Amino acid sequence: MNDLDFLSTVPPWDALPPEDLAALTSAFETCNFQSGQRIYTFGDRLDGLYVIRSGRVQVVDEAGAPLSTLGPQNTFGERGLMRDGRAATTATATAETTLLLLPAGRFRALIDADEGLRGFFARARPQKGSRPPSLAETRVATLMSRSPATCPPETTVAEAARMMRDRRISSIMVVGEAGLMGIITIRDITSRVVADDVDLGQPVTAAMTPDPVSLPPDAIGSDVLHAMMERGIGHVPIVGTEGLLGIVTQTDLTRFQADSSALLVGDVASAPDVAALALVTERIPRLLAQLVGTGNRHEVVTRLVTDIADAVTRRLLALGEAQLGAPPVPYLWLACGSQGRQEQTGVSDQDNCLFLSDDVRPEHDGWFAELARFVSEGLDRCGYVFCPGDMMATNPRWRQPVRVWRQYFAGWVARPDPMAQMLASVMFDLRPIGGDYSLHAGLQAETLAAAARNSIFVAHMVSNSLKHAPPLGLLRGLATLRSGEHRNHIDLKMSGVVPVVDLGRVYALRGELTAVNTRARLDAARATGIISESGGRDLLDAYDLIAQTRLEHQARQVREGGMPNNYLRPGALSEFERSHLRDAFVVVRRMQSAATQGRGVV
C-alpha cells in the first residue's frame, strides 16, 4: 500500500477530497526508528506531526508516566504543535517503526486554513480514556470473574481437586451458612496435601486458607495488586454486603493489562492462521468492557473496536493470498454497515463487497470467489457472523468490476424503488479496507453528486430514514417490544442508534458530505448549515447519550459473564437515566420531522 492509500484510511485525512489528499501526501516525509530509539523528548522543538505507518510507539508524560501505546494509523505530536511547538510528551519506538512526518510549518498552515482539521486536532489532546486503561482507574467489578466456583465445607480435598481439574480453574471458594469461610487453591493442594502425604479424603477445611483476604466491589485494580504483592497471594475474593460476588486472580490482572486495542491489532497482524485470529478476537468483549469502564466515549470505543475488525480483515486477505497465490488483477475489499462507518460494538455481523479491476476476465472469478469464501468464513470464525441479508463478497452480485458498481449506483439513483433505497443506504457507508484503494477513488463523490441532484431519490431516502422510529410511548414513557424473546425491552440499535444513522446519511446526501462515520456526518452537517446550529447540537447530544447507553449496557453484560446484545430493560435504568434517554429520543423524532420538511431547524 502506498502512502496515499495508507493516509486515505487515517482520520482526519480520510475525509479530505481525493485531490487534496494527493497533494498533501507529497508533503509527508518518511522516518525510520529502531526499537528503543527516542523519537523526541519532552520540551524538544517538534519537527512536525507524526503518523505511524508501521511499528509501535510509547508516549509518556513529563514525569515518565505512560500515557499511551500507539500502533499503525495512530497520530501523535499534535498537542505540542497546537500549543507552542514544543513536545508536551516523550515518544519512543518500542519496535522497528516507520513514521510519516508532516512538517510543522505545513501542519500549521493546514489547520489555519481548515476549521474542520483544526477542530479535530484540538479535540485529539490526550485525556482520560485516550490511553490504555490502568489498574488505578478500574474498579474490581470490571476485573473480577463472577459466579466463582464454590463448595460446602464438607467437600473432600479429592473432590475439590477434581472440580478444579474438570473446570480448568485454580481455586474454589469454601462457603458455609455464614458465608465465605475460606479458599483452596491448586498451590494449597500441592503444598499442604500432596507434599505432606495427607489423606485426600479429609474435608477441604483442613487444607484451605481460612478467612482469606477479600476486597469490596468498589475497590480498584491497584488495591488487588497491592494485596497480592504484600501477602504473596494470587487470588482475592470480592465480597459485598450480599455475600461472595466474584474473584480476581493474577491471570485476570495479567489479561487486563495485556488487552489494549494496539496490542490486539499487533497480535492480529502476526497471527499465522484463522484459528489464531479467532483466539485474539475472543478478547474483544473484555476490551470493550474495559474501555467503557474507564470512561471512554462511545466514538472512541467503537473506533478502536472497528480498527481491530479492519486488521482482522486485512490479515485474512493476506492469508488468503498466501494460500491462493497472487491476484490475477487488482481488487479492493470494502466494508459497509457498522464496520464501514467505524461504529462496531460488541455485536457485529459482516457486510462487505469486492471491487475488481475492469481488466478482470470471467476465468478470474474462481480466484476471487475463493478469496471471498476464505475471508468471509474467517470473519465468521472470528465472531463477525455472516450477514443475514447475504450482503457479502461471497455473493457474486457484490463481487463485480468497478464499471458494474458504477452501473449499480446509477441504477439505484435513477430508479429509487424500496430495494434500491435499501441497497443505496448500505452502499453509502462503504469504506475501503484492503487492496488497491484507487479502485474506489472518486466513486463516492461522483455518486453523492448524482444522488443529490435527483430530488425524487432524496425524497425516497428521507422517507426510508423514517422507517425506524424512536421508542416513545404515551405519558412520557418508553415504548418497549410487545412480544418475543425481548418483550418489555427497548432495542437500542434499531430504535435508538439506527434512526440517527439514517438521518446522518440523509444529511450527507443533501450536503454531498464525504464523511462515513455518523457522528462525523452530524458534525459536518452542522458546520455546513445542512442542519441548524441548535438542532445539530441537540442531535449530537442525543446521539451521544443513546450510543453511550448502548455501550454501557453491553459492557455490563460482558462483566456479568453474558453475551452483549442491544436489548435494554428500561427498569435497569434509574428514573433520572430513563428521563434523559427519553428526552434524547424526543430530539431524534423532532429531527426526523424536520428532515421530512427539508430543513434542519428545530
205 located within any domain: yes
Cβ-based neighbour number of residue 176 at 10 Å:
12
- Please indicate, yes or no, whether residues 439 and 477 belong to a single structural domain of this protein: no
In terms of residue numbers, what domain contains 423? 260-460
> Measured between alpha carbons, how far is 181 from 239 in angstroms, rounded to an integer?
12
Label residue 371 left, alpha or beta by phi (over 0 means left) and psi (-120 to 50 means alpha): alpha
- Please indicate, yes or no, whether residues 275 and 315 belong to a single structural domain of this protein: yes
Q: Are 29 and 100 in contact (CB under 8 A)?
A: yes
| Cell 428526552, residue located | 583
Instruction: Determine what percent of the chain is predicted with pLDDT higher than 70.
Output: 92
Convert the pLDDT of each residue in 454-465 to its tens digit: 888 888 888 888
- Please indicate, yes or no, whether residues 510 and 580 belong to a single structural domain of this protein: yes
Cα 17 versus chain centre, distance: 25
Q: Are 31 and 25 in contact (CB under 8 A)?
A: no
DSSP-derived secondary structure letter, 480: P
Cβ-based neighbour number of residue 195 at 10 Å:
9
- Please indicate, yes or no, whether residues 580 and 559 belong to a single structural domain of this protein: yes
CATH of the domain at 582: 1.20.120
> Measured between alpha carbons, how far is 402 from 404 in angstroms, rounded to an integer?
5
Decide which of 98, 129, 160 is a domain's last residue: 129
Q: Are 342 and 516 in contact (CB under 8 A)?
A: yes
The DSSP element (H or E) to which 48 belongs, if any, is strand 48-54
pLDDT score, position 259: 59
- Residue 17, classified by CB atoms within 10 Å of its CB into exposed (0-12), middle (13-18) or buried (19+), is exposed
240 located within any domain: yes
- Please indicate, yes or no, whether residues 249 and 326 belong to a single structural domain of this protein: no
Grid coordinates of 173: 471458594
Decide which of 256, 289, 309 is a domain's last residue: 256
- Please indicate, yes or no, whether residues 349 and 446 belong to a single structural domain of this protein: yes
> Measured between alpha carbons, how far is 160 from 216 in angstroms, rounded to an integer?
26
- Please indicate, yes or no, whether residues 296 and 414 belong to a single structural domain of this protein: yes
The DSSP element (H or E) to which 506 belongs, if any, is helix 498-511
- Please indicate, yes or no, whether residues 28 and 161 belong to a single structural domain of this protein: no
Grid coordinates of 36: 528503543
Q: Are 589 and 473 in contact (CB under 8 A)?
A: no
CATH of the domain at 160: 3.10.580.10
User: What's the length of the chain?
Assistant: 602
Q: Which neighbouring-strand residues pair with 139?
A: 220
371 located within any domain: yes
pLDDT score, position 235: 92
> Measured between alpha carbons, how far is 253 from 234 in angstroms, rounded to an integer?
10
> Measured between alpha carbons, how far is 427 from 343 in angstroms, rounded to an integer?
15
- Please indicate, yes or no, whether residues 404 and 532 belong to a single structural domain of this protein: no
171 located within any domain: yes
Grid coordinates of 476: 412520557
Can you tell me whether residue 110 is helix, strand or coil? helix
Can you tell me whether residue 50 is helix, strand or coil? strand
Q: Are 37 and 92 in contact (CB under 8 A)?
A: yes
pLDDT score, position 255: 66
Q: Are 149 and 180 in contact (CB under 8 A)?
A: no
Q: Are 111 and 16 in contact (CB under 8 A)?
A: no
> Measured between alpha carbons, how far is 74 from 70 in angstroms, rounded to an integer?
6
Angle 472-517-557 from CA coordinates, rounded to 5°: 55
Convert the pLDDT of each residue in 418-443 to its tens digit: 777 778 777 789 999 999 988 988 88
Convert the pLDDT of each residue in 441-490 to its tens digit: 888 888 888 888 888 888 888 888 888 999 998 666 788 998 999 999 99
Cα 406 versus chain centre, distance: 31
CATH of the domain at 100: 2.60.120.10
Grid coordinates of 252: 485476570
Q: Which neighbouring-strand residues pair with 401?
A: 356
Q: Given CA atoms 15, 19, 22, 27 in this order, what sign does their dihedral have?
A: negative
pLDDT score, position 236: 94
Cis previous bond, 12, omega within 30 = yes
Q: Are 498 and 490 in contact (CB under 8 A)?
A: no
- Please indicate, yes or no, whether residues 372 and 480 belong to a single structural domain of this protein: no
Q: How many domains does the chain have?
A: 4
Q: What is the mean pLDDT of each run of 10 residues along the chain (602 residues)?
A: 82 77 90 94 90 88 68 83 81 92 89 68 46 67 84 94 89 92 91 84 92 87 82 89 88 68 79 92 90 81 89 93 94 94 90 96 96 97 93 96 93 82 82 90 84 87 87 80 92 95 92 89 91 92 95 91 92 88 93 77 37
Q: Are 491 and 469 in contact (CB under 8 A)?
A: no
601 located within any domain: no
Q: How many CA atoms lie within 13 A of 297 on its CB side?
A: 13
602 located within any domain: no
- Closest to 433 measured CA to CA, from 321, 324, 319, 342: 342
| Cell 474542520, residue located | 116
> Measured between alpha carbons, how far is 364 from 116 in angstroms, rounded to an integer?
43
- Please indicate, yes or no, whether residues 451 and 331 belong to a single structural domain of this protein: yes
- Please indicate, yes or no, whether residues 147 and 195 belong to a single structural domain of this protein: yes
CA distances from 480 to 471, 473, 492 (A): 7, 8, 11
CATH of the domain at 276: 3.30.460.10
Q: Are 214 and 239 in contact (CB under 8 A)?
A: yes
493 located within any domain: yes
Decide which of 460, 486, 505 is a domain's last residue: 460
